[in-house]
Structure 1
Amino acid sequence: MPIQKLADVELWFDEYGPDDASEIILSSAMGYSGLDGYPERLSEAPTEYKVFTIQARGFGRSSRMDGIPAEGWLAQWADDVVAFADAKGIDKFVYTGASHSAGIGWYIAVRHPERLKAFVSVVGTPHDRFGVTDSSEGRRESIRARMEGDVAAMRVQFEKLGGWLHDDETERRRERDRLIDGAIESAMARDDDESQINQGMPFPEAKTNDELAAVLRTITVPTLMLAGMRDGIVSPESSLRGVMNVRDSKAVFFESEGHYMTREIPERLIREVRLYMDEINGTARPERRPIIDHTKVDTV
């Protein structure tokens, strides 16, 4: 992965897809898995978009920080994405991300809406407000477990994120176990500085769900929310709140999915992204509906 130098930071990034693609996709997170999952696979057919994945400052080979950014991690990472776009000569782009990566997108939508053609949030709508707004309980517990080497507690948190499975989903259970084993291994391999970064909840100034809804109503960017009904950290209610308050937005709910949709069903997510971009661009195929001859409808 190459390095992009900005004013006060160096960001490790990778790029995929053709330079003449119909859409430019930016995404930023603590790390990416390569072409094994979303969003990198948006560079392949059927979408074939240009994709830049940016490792957020504080992680991996990107610049480290001496402390918490003055405006908070999510706001800082959002500004970094826009600065990255400036450095690459990208005016408007589509931002997508999952979980904390989606949190970055919400801040771009509020702080830099003119730069977004669209925003696709995957399992990442702002959390419900239950009195604590600085971070989720799950994130705090994950940090504690990592710092104390408590692998069992970390597994509990990762299981909760994924959501429950039916007893007959045996093959999926095996796949989920492998996914969680890998997630635990990656988490334990991060150094202490990385492991203690707590990005917090988006918009912590909103102390109640009503105040959060008011923030969401200020967003004017075309927004697609992809949500898992079994998600153990981002509730379906939070996604419903999002689609009820972000004007002209769209939400798709997957009953069978939890917080791991980007790894477990990337193909389904990509189909939804492609449809949404076709809708925005006016190139979506209109649904064919049968013509009803109302003169022949029986009436009572």
Structure 2
Amino acid sequence: MTGSTAKLLNHLEEGPACAPPLLLGPSLGTSYALWDAVAPELSAGHRVIRWDLPGHGGSAADLIGPGATVGDLAGLVLRLADALGVERFAYAGVSLGGAVGLHLAVHHPERLTSLAVICSSAHFGGGEPWRERAERVRREGLEWLADNADARWFTPGFTVPRLVRDHREADPEAYAACCDALAAFDLRDRLAGITVPTLLVAGRRDPATPPAHLREIADAVRDALLVELPGASHLAPAQCPRAVLTALRSRLDGIPASGTAVRREVLGDAHVDRAQARQTPFTARFQDFVSRYAWGEIWTDPTLSRRERSMITLTALVAHGHLDEPALHVRAARRNGLTPEEIGAVLLQTAVYCGAPAANSAFATAQRVLAEEAP
């Protein structure tokens, strides 16, 4: 649904009303269309609520005025959440929308379940450039800024016409008030107090808020996760939606387990203890790589369930003839919820596509392991 009144930010709701709520904030000069390539995917498991800045998209321009602050914008977001009956919510925002999220995390942490700050910063380079921009926009309008929007927002050769059009059509007074808010924004001395599970996403080719700005936040916020996207500029959800979607899914439900913890959950304490006991200075970096990458990034990605990952792993081991490891992963498959019948069906599938001899060996190994587990 959409909504717009004199008191509320214009917004779009997607997804089941009973699902965990997720609010998505836009960048200055854009509308909630910034999230067009990401929000529909997120709405499969969340009640997604996208909102427009004052004077942008469908939001009324008089919701803020000269001298506005990021706190004023955060207040409008909370008013919208209250009107929709949303007490606690996950939040993700880009640039100015990300600054709103940081303000909420500092001043209203009880309202957030998680925070994603995308192509944003705890400060925006000092107040003077923003005050100068606000003054010129009030004097000349937005055409001169919209003409170079692509260069500020995207890498060369990429554009999203809808977003550039939104920039041209934004209300100059409201846009200038948002510039006032950016001019006054600086939360660097409050970052260490943020306790909300926090994801930071940086575009490596972002000229407005380069990765160093996100690293500054990551260094200050305990347990924050920083993801840098190669090839992404300032409006990453529009330019690299799949990468942003994957990053968001990793944090929407809280801090994921560490790689070592997941490795123990899947393979068992005994196996991990043996591997660590055998570790030498020569193998230490490899063991760290396995824990951080295989178990800390791949196995924690919620796109696939652990059941599905076990089935894929068993198939891959048979396909490549790694017949010394199926016993370990048959046990892991049982921990991940597969029944003996399902494991047999997976191995039968491998017989068709990977070869009967390899499947025969895997069946023998699986039968031995399952017999050991039988009461």
TM-score tier by shorter-chain length is: 0.7 to 0.9
Which AA in structure 1 matches 2:127?
Answer: T
Mapped to 2, the partners of 1:14 and 1:79 lie a distance apart of 18
| 2:275 corresponding residue in structure 1 | 292
Structure 1 pair 276–293 and aligned structure 2 pair: CA distance change class (3 A): closer
Cα pair distance change 1:245/1:295, threshold 3 Å: closer
Is 1:147 matched up with 2:135?
no
Distance across 2 between alignment mates of 1:134 and 1:10: 30
Q: Larger strand proportion, structure 1 or 2?
A: 1
Gaps of 5+ in 2: 283-375
Q: Is the 2:65–2:173 Cα contact (8 Å) retained in structure 1?
A: no
Matched, 1:189 2:169: yes
- Shift in alpha-carbon separation, 1:228–1:240, aligned structure 2, 3 A: same
Q: Distance in 2 between matches of 1:63 and 1:144?
A: 17
User: What is aligned with 2:121?
Assistant: 125
- For structure 1, the 5+ residue unaligned runs are 166-172, 207-211
Q: Which residue of 1 aligns with 2:60?
A: 63
User: What is residue 3 of structure 2 aligned with on the other side?
Assistant: 3
Counting aligned pairs with the same residue, the percent is 23
1:222 deviates by 1.6
| Distance change in 2, residues 1:146/1:216 (3 Å) | farther
Q: Structure 2: which amino acid aligns with 1:133? A: G
Instruction: Using the TM superposition, give the Cα deviation of residue 273 of structure 1 relative to its aligned residue in structure 2, in angstroms.
Output: 1.3
RMSD of the alignment, in Å? Answer: 3.6
Superposed CA deviations along residues 98-152 of structure 1, whole A, max 9, x for unmatched, are 11111211111122111011111111122354xx3255489659948972743xx
Q: Which residues of 2 match residues 1-300 of structure 1 at below 5 A?
A: 1-3=1-3, 9-21=7-19, 23-29=20-26, 31-33=31-33, 36-44=36-44, 48-65=45-62, 68=65, 72-127=68-123, 129=125, 132-133=126-127, 136=130, 143=137, 147=141, 149-150=143-144, 154-163=146-155, 173=157, 176=158, 178-179=159-160, 181-200=161-180, 204=184, 206=186, 212-280=187-255, 286-287=262-263, 292=275, 294=277
Distance of 1:198 and 1:53 partners within structure 2: 18
Give the letter for the 2:217 counterpart. Answer: G
Quote how far apart the aligned CAs of 1:252 are. 0.6
Q: Is the 8 A contact 2:109 2:195 kept in 1?
A: yes
- Larger-gyration structure (1/2): 2
1:62/1:89 Cα in 2 relative to 1: closer, same or farther (>3 Å)?
A: same
CA distance in 2, matches of 1:219, 1:113: 8
3-state SS, counterpart of residue 125 of structure 1: coil
TM-score, normalised relative to structure 2: 0.61
- Partners of 1:264 and 1:139 lie apart in 2 by 25
8 Å contact kept, 1:229–1:254 = yes
Higher RCO (CA < 8 A, seq sep 6+): 1
Q: Give the SS at the match of 1:280.
A: coil
Structure 1 residues 222 and 267: alpha-carbon distance in aligned structure 2, compared to 1, 3 A threshold: same
Quote the offset at 1:239 in angstroms: 0.5
Q: Which has the higher helix share?
A: 2
Instruction: Quickly say closer, same or farther: Cα 1:33–1:297, change in 2 above 3 A.
Output: closer
How many matched pairs? 271
Contact 1:127–1:201 (8 Å) recurs in 2: no
Structure 2 contact 98–117 (Cα < 8 Å) conserved = yes
Per the alignment, in what secondary structure is the counterpart of residue 194 of structure 2? coil
**In the aligned structure 1, how far is the partner of 2:279 from the partner of 2:99?**
53
State how far apart, in whole Å, the 2-side matches of 1:295 and 1:191 are: 65
Most deviating of 196-205 and 279-288: 279-288
Note if contact 1:39-1:97 (Cα within 8 Å) is conserved in structure 2: no
What stretches of structure 1 move > 4 A for 4+ residues in a row?
Answer: 134-142, 200-203, 281-285, 287-291, 293-299
Measured in 2, the distance between the counterparts of 1:149 and 1:203 equals: 21
Q: Distance in 1 between matches of 2:146 and 2:34?
A: 24
Q: How has the CA–CA distance of structure 1 residues 253 and 137 changed in structure 2, closer, same or farther, with 3 Å as cutoff?
A: farther
* Secondary structure in structure 2 of the residue aligned to 1:277: coil
Q: Equivalent residue for 2:302?
A: none
Amino acid at match of 2:168: M
SS of 1:25's partner is strand
Q: Which amino acid letter does the alignment assign opposite residue 43 of structure 1? A: S
